[in-house]
Chains A and B, each alone.
Chain A
Amino acid sequence: MATPAADSERARTIPLDEIDVSAPDLYVRDAAHPYFARLRREDPVHYCARSAYGPYWSVTRFNDIVAIDTNHKVFSSDASVGSFVLDDATLNPVNGGIFLPNFLGMDPPRHDIHRMAVSPIVAPQNLARLESTIRKRTQHVLDGLPVGEAFNWVDRVSIELTTLMLATLLDFPLEERRRLTRWSDVVTASPGTGVIDTWEQREKELRECEACFRDLWNQRSRQPPRPDLISMLAHSPAMQNLSAEEFLGTVVLLVVGGNDTTRNSMSGGVLAQHLYPGEYAKARADRSLVPNMVSEIVRWQTPILHMRRTALEDVEFRGKRIRKGDKVAMWYISGNRDEEVIERPEEFIVDRPRARHHLSFGFGIHRCLGNRLAELQLRILWEEVLERFSRVEVVGEPVRVPSNLIRGFVDLPVRLHA
């Protein structure tokens, strides 16, 4: 599970200008770390002239990422000038993709209006209301797991718990919840990576998603307001004039945001405690460490590898000339391993001081909206796991998602020890 030796060697010797950290196969092998380490040291704001996504800048140091993330006036997220992910086809109608506009791909002032229409769903009062439901479900899922035999943690625990949560937030029919998982995977997929075969297939499935949510929206808008996301949107004055595209774009943002991210932190935490068994023992001996452990899991895993911005003007940044229209990728995975800001960053340390100081939620106005909910779900999961199992052993090689956006797992074979 360590970085392949070939990648370590190549990262050391390859000419700087040939480094392309956007190649998805790097993330299948979990092999990007040595390339980022070299960029942080030798060329922290790096220009890659040729990639599958065109030329782009990589910002690799923690504090530089914060500087870009908080400078939305120069580094735009708006779909009208680009996208907030490197691959334009994910959200824009180019290269086979369809247009999926949403507030993460907007600059102020529209961004603020749309975001504030959604944010009450994860307000503290609402989270307090959800806590006992989350705990009961987590207990139920964990109690149904076999002890002593191998199974896929991703499917049985991570997907199951996050999809149940998402279905609850949306008040989506529980028995159809795996459709949410499927749509979430389809949004960030491109042909040839195992999820979809063609762009046409992707569009067809996303149109089904749109139709399904359109029905729910129409139904909720006729009923009195309720505290679920679809009802909130259907009754929100700011959301009344959404185009069909914006509607689908907003839905998929909520589905991916509330699903892929927490799912992969739930899996990443298992791999982390397997590789650092002493840390699991520490948390088992002192459960008050769990909230800190959760922050450390979210940092260590970094479920969103990068967010991208587009420069709105020519700008000098750390001695480099970034030109209007250039793509700028903030590699959270690299910033979270920046040894100048985080001590022994590659290690998983449950009682790490200032563990909340990580980049995984982003910073600035686009900071993760659901971070408190994610932390709540992860805290409850680990409280219940620590209560039940002396060890969660990873018994096979993890299978990772082929993506430069989502750092995640398809398969994580584990065996539980009573």
Chain B
Amino acid sequence: MPKITYISSDGAEHVVDAENGLSAMEAAVRNNVPGIDGDCGGMAACGTCHVYVDRAWLGKTGAAREGVERDMLSVTDGAADNSRLACQIALTEELDGLVLRLPSGQH
């Protein structure tokens, strides 16, 4: 069970023990982490699970993928080179300790 830390824009930390195989969006929604809605259910199609990957972890998560994820991030305010859609990050033991920061006011 990888431990994931979500940090809100106001600095509040939410630590979640995620089930292997979930996405970082699903783990957040199931544990009521505020600021991640996941309206489309994990298709990279709504942009409501935008996160900034802590730079120390970027090598392991990888950058946003070509295709729908990149396309959505290119129409998302405040997107940066460490932006990902959390629904496209599959959680594995390798990501135990992952730190994700949430943009300000993502609902």
Contacts and interface: CB of A to CB of B under 8 A. Distances in A.
B1 interface: no
B52 to A, nearest CB: 15
B77 A119 contact: yes
B41 interface: yes
Interface in A335-378: 354, 356-358, 361, 363-365, 367, 372
B103 to A, nearest CB: 8
Contacts of A356: 37-39
A70 to B, nearest CB: 5
B105 A70 contact: no
B45 A363 contact: yes
A212 interface: no
Nearest to B103: A124
Contacts of B46: 361, 363, 367
Given A108-B74, A123-B77, A363 B104 contact: no
Contacts of B77: 116, 119-120, 123
Interface string A86-129: 00000000000000000000001001100110011001110110
Contacts of A357: 39-41
Contacts of A120: 77
A244 B47 CA distance: 32
B106 A124 contact: yes
Contacts of B104: 124-125
Interface in B36-95: 37-41, 43-47, 68, 71-72, 74-75, 77
Contacts of A69: 45
Interface string A46-78: 000000000000000000001001101000000
Contacts of A119: 75, 77
Contacts of A358: 39
Given A66-B45, A112-B75, A115-B75, A125 B39 contact: no
B16 to A, nearest CB: 19
A298 to B, nearest CB: 11
B105 A125 contact: yes
A70 B47 contact: no
Interface in A118-161: 119-120, 123-125, 127-128
- Chain B interface size range: 20 to 34
B10 to A, nearest CB: 13
Given A363-B43, A363-B46, A124 B72 contact: no
Nearest to A358: B39
19 contacts: A66-B43, A69-B45, A108-B71, A112-B75, A116-B77, A119-B75, A123-B105, A124-B106, A124-B107, A125-B104, A356-B37, A356-B39, A357-B39, A363-B45, A364-B45, A364-B72, A365-B72, A367-B46, A367-B47
Contacts of A354: 41
A354 B39 CA distance: 8
Interface residues of A, number: 26
Contacts of A365: 71-72, 74-75
B41 A70 contact: no
Contacts of B39: 356-358, 361
Contacts of B38: 356
Contacts of A125: 104-105
A367 B45 contact: yes
Nearest to A341: B41
Nearest to B74: A112
Contacts of A123: 77, 105
Nearest to B29: A354
Contacts of A66: 40, 43, 45
Contacts of B43: 66, 70, 363
A57 to B, nearest CB: 20
B65 to A, nearest CB: 13
A119 B106 CA distance: 14
A365 B67 CA distance: 11
Interface in A367-393: 367, 372
A318 B27 CA distance: 31
Contacts of B68: 70, 364
A357 B77 CA distance: 22
A302 to B, nearest CB: 15
Q: Which 4 A-B pairs have the closest CB atoms?
A: A124-B105, A363-B45, A356-B39, A70-B45
Given A124-B104, A357-B39, 11 more contacts: A69-B45, A115-B75, A116-B77, A125-B104, A125-B105, A127-B105, A354-B41, A363-B43, A363-B45, A363-B46, A365-B75
B41 to A, nearest CB: 5
Nearest to B44: A70
A363 B40 contact: yes
